[in-house]
Chain A
Amino acid sequence: MLALIKIFAYIRKEFLIQRSYKFAFFFNFFSVFTSLLTFFFINRLFGSRISSHLEPFGRDYFSYTILAQAFFTYVGTGLGGIAGRLRGEAMTGTLESLLVTPTKMRTLLLSMGLWNFGFASVDLFLYLFFGVFFFKIDISQINLLATFIIFFFTIIAFSSLGLISGSFILVLKRGNPVNWLVSTLSGLLGGVYFPVTVLPKWLQAISAWIPVTYAIKGLELAVYQGASLASLSSDVIKLALFAIILLPLGIYSFGYALRRAKIEGSLVRY
């Protein structure tokens, strides 16, 4: 109960800070809209025909990539969000003030993660809102349960990667190889901008080691084809495995990095 109250207090604090930057919200609003417009016009260039790579999803390129990007933006928050927040607290000099309170580190991390996802939900909503109401993307066949399960495991997998990424920030301060590697590989090989079947076989073999590959494929099928959980079981099991392996790894690496930062006395350095 006490932890929940602290999490709520942290989220409220972040909300008040965010609210004080009035222009940022509108800027966010426009950046989502311009991103949608860019892909809308790229889609126009090729017409609304469905290439063979998009056939399993039954939608054109615009519908495919907008859903993938909205999803990737959302789950990507788990990846860079905690590291960003830790660096932000270190830069504003408030990290030590937080750590000296009788608040467990896991409560602070959960607070940071929940705020990040809450904030990213606004982007997700904007993508969906503009996509459905302005650009007429059809999501009427969505299988909500399958979509929810895919979100759930992907959030855990990416948040665990985010903890590993946060560990690098605690130790290295700048230069975060995990964030760069996962973001770049996910963007290039995970199916965010195009289905992975477009890639040559040897690159497809690499994409099989990236959690977002299964997440995007599963999500596109669940949202546009109403695919059931049973038919997506292979992708969901792989996602769950990523989550199960990465979570303890993330917790361990973060604990190690925090201890190392305390030994080096480098918590406030950035």
Chain B
Amino acid sequence: MAIAIKVEGLTKYFSPSTTALDDVNFIVKEGEIFGILGPNGAGKTTLLKILATLILPTKGEAWLAGYHIIKEAEKVKLCLGFHSGEERSLYWRLSGRENLSFFATLYNLTSQRSRIRIKEILELLELKEPDKKVYLYSTGMRQRLSLARALIPDPPILLLDEPTKSLDPKSAYELRKFLKEELVKKRGKSILWVTHNLREAEEVCDRLAIMEKGKIKTTGSVEELEKCLL
């Protein structure tokens, strides 16, 4: 199986006394969901933002779809969908459809392709009332809209930061099912899934890395980690 994400010795210091990441190494294979599990402040979001080219690492290297995250940042951006988990990453004064249409253009989609893709995604994610302003959406709807935006360019790799945060249990379950069944199994996407929810990680991820204080403590399949922990 080909490699979707490769991370080698990734290290990030925000100051000499603040180590966010310490020699992080892992690979994510194509068509798998790889989970990063850890408590708040473990460095999970920093890791994701480095892979999304938003933060520069202090040391180490990483590749997405074979492209180097620093030397080939523009190509990396063409291959990834990034869901930051932040509610405020959308334009609240625009409607859901207007948000998606704007970002579709920034992701190089033609207007015709954009219309088709938006329709597909709205149906896939069951985003009703796409013409309502985002400030009128519920928190869960905004989460789904943010995920819809990440899916707009139909990228082979998805970086998801707590995608089920703020969703009710039923919606969270449906979203997990959708990502696993529809995107990974049917469409062969690779997902790096950041969470602090052990149950969610067990349910969704093919393999997992447990992260604490910027370090990967252990990596393996859910079964392997369960054996190791028990």
Contact = CB atoms under 8 A, between A and B. Distances in A.
Interface stretch (A48-56, A98-106, A181-189, A234-242): A98-106
Interface string B67-108: 000000010011010101011111111100010011101111
A9 B105 contact: yes
B224 to A, nearest CB: 32
B54 A93 contact: no
A265 B55 contact: yes
A16 B78 CA distance: 27
Contacts of B74: 102, 104
Interface in A91-137: 92-94, 96-104
Contact of A16 (B20, B49, B89, B93): B93
A200 B24 CA distance: 64
A230 interface: no
A45 interface: no
A94 B90 CA distance: 6
Q: How large is the interface on A (under 10, 10 to 19, 20 to 34, 35 or more residues)?
A: 20 to 34
Interface string B100-118: 0111011110000000000
Nearest to A18: B93
Given A98-B106, A100-B82, A16 B94 contact: yes
A262 B103 CA distance: 22
B89 A93 contact: yes
B53 interface: yes
Chain B interface size range: 35 or more
Contacts of A94: 88-91
A6 B55 contact: no
A262 B53 CA distance: 8
A259 B54 CA distance: 10
Nearest to A5: B105
Given A92-B91, A93-B88, A267 B56 contact: no
A134 B18 CA distance: 63
A88 to B, nearest CB: 11
A68 B84 CA distance: 46
Interface in B22-74: 46, 49, 52-56, 74
A130 B84 CA distance: 48
B77 A265 contact: no
Contacts of B98: 13, 16
Contact of A101 (B77, B88, B91, B94): B77
Interface in A1-39: 2, 5-6, 9-10, 12-13, 16-17, 20-21
Contact of B108 (A10, A97, A102): A102
Contact of A100 (B12, B52, B94): B52
A265 B94 contact: no
A169 to B, nearest CB: 17
Contacts of B87: 93
A20 to B, nearest CB: 4
Contact of B14 (A9, A17, A265): A265
A103 B14 contact: no
B149 interface: yes
B213 interface: no
Given A9-B102, A265-B46, A97 B90 contact: yes
A102 B80 CA distance: 10
A100 B69 CA distance: 12
Given A259-B56, A262-B54, A97 B93 contact: no
B54 A6 contact: no
Nearest to B146: A97
B54 A96 contact: yes
B86 A262 contact: no
A94 B82 CA distance: 13
In order of increasing CB-CB distance, the 6 nearest A-B pairs are A93-B88, A9-B105, A101-B106, A102-B77, A265-B55, A20-B93
Given A9-B101, A96-B49, 20 more contacts: A2-B108, A6-B105, A6-B106, A9-B106, A10-B102, A13-B102, A16-B98, A17-B94, A92-B92, A93-B90, A94-B88, A97-B90, A100-B52, A100-B53, A101-B107, A259-B56, A262-B56, A264-B14, A265-B12, A265-B54
18 contacts: A9-B101, A9-B102, A13-B98, A16-B98, A21-B93, A93-B88, A93-B90, A94-B88, A94-B90, A97-B90, A97-B103, A99-B53, A99-B54, A262-B54, A263-B55, A264-B14, A265-B49, A267-B55
Interface of A: 2, 5-6, 9-10, 12-13, 16-17, 20-21, 92-94, 96-104, 259, 262-265, 267
